[in-house]
């Protein structure tokens, strides 16, 4: 199955993905009604079930399913083009890729019929790869802007406690910060919202090794706080050392779901799916 299948082309041996809104109109989302498909001993805090997403006519996310328990950190891994960022963006309910079918649940709330701002209000916090620091605003103004509408999360002082360098540069324009400092600001801005699920897209991308180590220490502190997190990262070894579990994608499909240590211990699997 290729990643360029047309909308009207059905995957082999199964019915093609139906429109999301055939089964889940936005108006039918029932707050407080929890998912029923998880049968494990510990209910999933987050679940996505058989999600299919497209960029235009390109079929990118091809039936991805996985659960995340509360407080767990999951590394979502794969080669370039495997569908990692697309899956993360589909979970955050951004416009692209377009989610065509499947279910996404967070803390008993159905996200699959929501827009991105509604998912954010339900606790989804996406730190995008390009950081999206707003030009013309200082560090502190970027943080305050995140708190204009409820729900509000960490106080700005608490963000500065986590990232002292941001406190030192609070009056500096955000886009003039170094790459590592901008990454700190992007994470801090997300934490300034009331986040239940933190989505990190390539947090180490383009950073010097010494800055990567600093970001790693920060993420370890976030982990110690028990924040449920999904991290997409090309630096797979670093992500695996941080994560509790690993999910590996290949051609838009899940090919492994297990512990991070299992991946660290399996050189053949790492070479096959991660080229490391």
pLDDT per residue as tens digits for the range 100-121: 999 999 999 999 999 999 999 9
From 203, 273, 193, 239, select the one nearest 73 (Cα to Cα).
Answer: 239
Percent of the chain residues topping a pLDDT of 70 = 84
Question: Higher-confidence residue: 161 or 10?
Answer: 161
Q: What pLDDT score was predicted for residue 3?
A: 34
The CA-atom distances, in angstroms, between 67 and each of 38, 104, 269 are 8, 10, 21
Q: What pLDDT score was predicted for residue 18?
A: 47
Could you report how far apart the first and last alpha carbons of the chain are, in Å?
25
* Domain 44-273 of CATH type 3.40.50.300: yes
List 77's β-bridge partners, or say none.
248
d(CA 113, CA 103): 9
Q: What pLDDT score was predicted for residue 13?
A: 35
- Identify the band that residue 276 occupies on the pLDDT scale cut at 50, 70 and 90: confident
Q: What pLDDT score was predicted for residue 35?
A: 43
Percent of the chain residues topping a pLDDT of 90 = 79
pTM across the whole model: 0.84
Q: What is the pLDDT of residues 124-142, one digit of tens each?
A: 999 999 999 999 999 999 9
Q: What pLDDT score was predicted for residue 172?
A: 98
- Identify the band that residue 40 occupies on the pLDDT scale cut at 50, 70 and 90: very low
Q: What is the pLDDT of residues 205-222, one digit of tens each?
A: 989 888 888 899 999 999
Q: What pLDDT score was predicted for residue 188?
A: 97
Three-state DSSP state, 8: coil
Given a cut of 50, whether residue 2 has pLDDT beyond it is no
Given a cut of 90, whether residue 9 has pLDDT beyond it is no
Q: What is the pLDDT of residues 46-77, one digit of tens each?
A: 999 999 999 999 999 999 999 999 999 999 99
CB 236 within 8 A of CB 260: no
Radius of gyration of the chain (CA): 19
Mean pLDDT of all residues in the chain? 87
Q: What pLDDT score was predicted for residue 42?
A: 62
Neighbour count for residue 242 (Cβ, 10 Å): 20
Cβ neighbours of residue 67 closer than 8 Å, sequence gap 6 or more: 38, 40, 44, 46, 47
- Identify the band that residue 14 occupies on the pLDDT scale cut at 50, 70 and 90: very low
Q: What pLDDT score was predicted for residue 141?
A: 98
Q: What pLDDT score was predicted for residue 206?
A: 87
The highest-confidence range among 9-18, 96-105, 214-223, by mean pLDDT, is 96-105
Given a cut of 90, whether residue 41 has pLDDT beyond it is no
């Amino acid at each position: 199955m290729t990643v360029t299948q047309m909308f009207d082309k059905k995957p082999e041996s199964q019915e093609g993905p139906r429109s999301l809104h055939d089964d889940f109109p936005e108006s039918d989302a029932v707050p407080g009604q929890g998912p029923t498909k998880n049968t494990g001993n510990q209910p999933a805090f987050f679940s996505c079930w058989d999600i299919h997403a497209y960029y235009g006519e390109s079929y990118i996310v091809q039936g991805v399913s996985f659960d995340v328990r509360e407080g767990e950190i999951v590394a979502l891994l794969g080669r370039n083009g495997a569908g990692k960022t697309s899956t993360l963006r589909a979970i955050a309910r951004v416009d692209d890729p377009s989610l065509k079918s499947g279910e996404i649940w967070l803390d008993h709330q159905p996200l699959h019929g929501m827009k991105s701002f509604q998912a954010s209000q339900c606790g989804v916090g996406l730190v995008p790869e390009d950081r999206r620091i707003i030009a013309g605003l200082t560090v502190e103004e970027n943080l305050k802007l995140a708190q204009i509408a409820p729900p509000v999360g960490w106080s700005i002082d608490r963000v500065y406690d986590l990232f002292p360098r941001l406190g030192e540069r609070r009056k500096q324009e955000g886009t003039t910060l170094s790459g590592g400092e901008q990454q700190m600001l992007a994470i801090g801005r997300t934490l300034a919202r009331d986040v239940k699920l933190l989505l990190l897209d390539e947090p180490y991308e383009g950073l010097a090794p010494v800055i990567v180590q600093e970001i790693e220490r920060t993420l370890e502190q976030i982990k110690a706080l028990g924040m449920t997190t999904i991290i997409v990262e090309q630096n797979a070894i670093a992500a695996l050392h941080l994560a509790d579990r690993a999910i590996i994608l290949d051609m838009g499909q899940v090919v492994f779901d297990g512990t991070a240590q299992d991946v660290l211990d399996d050189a053949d699997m790492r070479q096959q799916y991660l080229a490391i």
